[in-house]
Amino acid sequence: MNLKLFKPLFTLAVAVSLNLAAQNDAPKYSYTEAFKPFFYMNNATETRSASGQPGHNYWQNSADYVLNASLNDVKNEISGSAEITYTNNSFDNLSFLWLQLDQNLFKKDSRGNAVVPMGGSRNGAHGQDFDGGYTIKSVEILSANGKNLKINPKYTISDTRMQIDLPQDLKSKGGVVKLIINYSFVSPDYGSDRMGVEPTKNGKIFTIAQWFPRMCVYDDITGWNTLPYLGAGEFFLEYGNITANLTVPANQYVVASGELLNPKEVYSSDQNKKWDAARNSEKTVIIRSAAEANAAEKNSTATKTWKFKIENTRDFAWASSSAFILDAAKINLPSGKKSLAVSAYPVESDGNAAWGRSTEYTKSSIEHYSKRWYEYTYPNAVNVAGNPGGMEYPGIVFCGMSSKGADLWGVTDHEFGHNWFPMIVGSNERMFAWMDEGFNTFINSISEQDFNKGEYYTPKPLQSMAFAFNSDQMEPIMTAPDNLKERNLGFLAYYKPSAGLQMLRENILGEEKFDKAFREYIKRWAFKHPTPEDFFRTMENSSGEELNWFWRGWFLNKWKIDQAVKNVSYKSGDFTKGAVIKLENIGQLPMPVNLEIKFKDGTTQNVKLPVEIWKRNSEWTFEVPTTKEITSVQLDPKGSLPDANVSDNTFKVDGNSVAEKVDLKQFIGNFSSKEIPLKIVTTVENNQLMLQATGQPKIPLDYEGADKFGFSVAGIEFQFSKDRKGFTLNQGGKKFEFTRD
């Protein structure tokens, strides 16, 4: 097409209309803003490629731990030591270290307690009159840069962080420091919905997390990541290997992240045989029954030490109780390897309507995600019933002991989904909750459809969430969790980013292209630290599609989706010659178009248009070659988009419109205006009214009904008088009268 056709045909009219538009409220949609360039503000570096993958000199520090801990089940106290081997792979020498002391959230004077509103919060100790936090008994550096030291360094505790000054810089590119910290703390009953102590008839259930001093991440983006733990923002951790030796009362059973190293020392011969059977069973095998839990002693002064190890992990959590029923079943992985699904729960949670199906749920969840996205990497997947509503750790999750049925399936599937985000793909949860909660909620929506042929699946059109996604009270998704209203966290960290991925998969890229790109992202950043930009770049580079308009609108801003069907008419007023449909993009965020056309004979036709129609237009008119009468045209008939105003999504064609026949010859003529020096000639060519202005090429006009024609490219309408002796030219609200010569 000749680009001159896009030049404004009526110079004076355009000038007037632009001046008028400047005085009125402009439409919210701006195609230059939506599709503007330079979305990516950071150039490629040696550590992060412009394609979204780790750079050729990507580095990441590591932290290995040897943990020894004892549980006092009367005082709810953990006493322990953490021997940390920290390797500095960065290009920087480090003169100090930062560690996370998350238990200090439960000190009365913590920053996290200070921000709990009067009405209460999920975060913190949940109203318990409790002054918790770490007691640091000693800090000793054992060696650094290959030299034995055994010195007590200076350290400073600031809320939930500890800074340790090193006696000499830790060398770059491989320098290693080994230190040991002795500590203790009393567990809160309810630890910010992530850990705690739950009483049951057969003894307390201890769900233990954030229980040892952990290294802060030092990376190529921020250096030391030292944001304090306030409760809402979760964790950002280095990877490494962890060995844990856990000493508990002898009547208690321990489940934990990783592999149990001494099963013969802690289980009976009969129980070990059942474990062996479970490793080869597709069905759940009971290891310790409800009857055994009821009959067992409730207290013990003797102790047992349970020894665990997990590799390439960012964290370690565990649970201990005399009340546990234990069961397990084999997990089949795509490579042929096996893992083990394990459940630990009290008799109060027993039964096939409740936790009796937990291992079935766990097995299905792990197998699904392993097959679809990336293979599960840990030897066990343990589901523990306790008082956290739902919380995830590598190889182990804590779920509410009262959950059952669809609720238990949902929380189990969600928490184990976190073993992909952020356990395998180690994003910064404290800054970008949506990169783990949102991604996980998205993969849960697919898993839910697959589990047991959709046993608990209920379709949830995104349109049903439009009221929340489009609320002016919501912050942008990119907002850090500690920087948004607590009531908005569920929508902005979970549902809205999940909806974004769903739209990307179903409306923009398609399943095949999306799934390939998403798998590529997981593979690239497995056991590494991606940023939002690494994700955005990977999805674009893998799919081959420009998506900055979508990232900009849905994630960085809170732009609304709002499309409308403005008009439906027949060419020359005759349905046998085809239909002309006019659409408008009203909201700031453009989207591809999915239309359903219903015909009088009961049939339907689907029309899809790419997002590119909005790259230089806010309105789009197109022809549908049909010979049948239309009854309605509807945008997004399945509600797959959260359109801010669905009232204009459907255009119904009434009987009068259908019956209208137009003789185009009645509109032929030469026309002029007393208001502007312009001559216009109209003719008919190939059953279409053509218009030619002085010094301009001919353009086709679309019939819009009721003697009105339009040329949508220039935003111009021509409303003819009933006697066809003249017309009103309308552009941008400015009108000019023309009469037949």
Task: Quote the CA–CA distance of 104 and 49 in Å, as a whole number.
Answer: 38
Confidence at residue 727, expressed as pLDDT on a 0 to 100 scale? 95
Q: How many domains does one find in the chain?
A: 3
208, 80 in Cβ contact below 8 A? no
Q: Are residues 634 and 724 in the same domain?
A: no
Any idea what the CATH number is for the domain that residue 580 is in?
Answer: 2.60.40.10
Residue 48 per-residue DSSP state:
B
Nearest to 732 by CA among 90, 12, 216: 12
Nearest to 259 by CA among 247, 243, 248: 243
In a domain, 59, yes or no: yes
| Structural tokens at position 534 | 């690494």
Q: How confident is the model at residue 208 (pLDDT cuts 50, 70, 90)?
A: very high
In a domain, 298, yes or no: no
Q: Are residues 677 and 620 in the same domain?
A: no
Q: Which stretch of 126-140, 348-362, 532-546, 685-699 has the lowest confidence by average pLDDT?
A: 685-699
Domain's final residue, options 238, 263, 298: 238
Q: Are residues 693 and 648 in the same domain?
A: no
327, 408 in Cβ contact below 8 A? no
In a domain, 615, yes or no: yes
Confidence at residue 713, expressed as pLDDT on a 0 to 100 scale? 61
**CA dist 660 to 149, 372, 509, 571, Å?**
95, 54, 40, 11
Any idea what the CATH number is for the domain that residue 202 is in?
Answer: 2.60.40
Mean pLDDT for 518-535 is 98
Confidence at residue 660, expressed as pLDDT on a 0 to 100 scale? 58
396, 256 in Cβ contact below 8 A? yes
In a domain, 348, yes or no: no
Task: Quote the CA–CA distance of 248 and 73 in Å, as a whole number.
Answer: 8
Q: Are residues 185 and 135 in the same domain?
A: yes
Mean pLDDT for 65-94 is 98
Confidence at residue 198, expressed as pLDDT on a 0 to 100 scale? 97
User: What is the percentage of the chain residues whose pLDDT exceeds 90?
Assistant: 84
Give the domain range for residue 71. Answer: 54-238
Mean pLDDT for 6-31 is 44
508, 549 in Cβ contact below 8 A? no
Beta bridge partners, 605, equal 597
Q: Are residues 630 and 668 in the same domain?
A: no
pLDDT digits (tens, 9 = 90+) for 327-380: 999 999 999 999 999 999 999 999 999 999 999 999 999 999 999 999 999 999
| Structural tokens at position 136 | 């640091």
pLDDT for 656 beyond 80: no
- In sequence order, the 6+-apart residues with CB closer than 8 A to the CB of 577 are 570, 571, 627, 687
Q: How confident is the model at residue 120 (pLDDT cuts 50, 70, 90)?
A: confident
Nearest to 612 by CA among 706, 545, 680: 545
pLDDT for 159 beyond 80: yes
**CA dist 420 to 329, 378, 423, 526, Å?**
21, 11, 6, 9
Q: Residue 257 carries which side chain, given as an amino acid letter? A: S
Instruction: Give the containing element (helix H, strand E) for 224.
Output: strand 223-224
Q: Are residues 671 and 646 in the same domain?
A: no
In a domain, 267, yes or no: no
In a domain, 465, yes or no: no
Q: Are residues 689 and 617 in the same domain?
A: no
- In sequence order, the 6+-apart residues with CB closer than 8 A to the CB of 719 are 707, 708, 727, 728, 730
pLDDT for 592 beyond 70: yes
Q: Are residues 103 and 217 in the same domain?
A: yes
- The larger pLDDT score, comparing residue 708 to residue 275, is at 275
In a domain, 288, yes or no: no
Task: Quote the CA–CA distance of 611 and 641 in Å, as a whole number.
Answer: 14
Confidence at residue 28, expressed as pLDDT on a 0 to 100 scale? 84
Q: Are residues 77 and 213 in the same domain?
A: yes
Confidence at residue 709, expressed as pLDDT on a 0 to 100 scale? 87
pLDDT for 446 beyond 50: yes
Q: How confident is the model at residue 711 (pLDDT cuts 50, 70, 90)?
A: confident
* DSSP codes joined into one string, 145-211: TTEEEEE---EEEETTEEEEEEEEEEPTTTEEEEEEEEEEEEPPSB-TTSSEEE--TT--EEEE-S-
Confidence at residue 24, expressed as pLDDT on a 0 to 100 scale? 39
Nearest to 254 by CA among 173, 347, 321, 183: 321
Any idea what the CATH number is for the domain that residue 672 is in?
Answer: 2.40.128.50
Confidence at residue 46, expressed as pLDDT on a 0 to 100 scale? 96
Domain's final residue, options 209, 238, 267: 238
Confidence at residue 332, expressed as pLDDT on a 0 to 100 scale? 98
Q: Are residues 226 and 190 in the same domain?
A: yes
Q: Residue 477 carries which side chain, given as an amino acid letter? A: I
Q: How confident is the model at residue 5 (pLDDT cuts 50, 70, 90)?
A: very low
Q: Are residues 686 and 724 in the same domain?
A: yes
Domain's final residue, options 618, 652, 686: 652
Mean pLDDT across the chain, nearest whole number?
A: 92
Q: Which class for 570: exposed (0-12), middle (13-18), buried (19 or more C-beta within 10 A)?
A: buried
Q: Are residues 692 and 577 in the same domain?
A: no
In a domain, 72, yes or no: yes
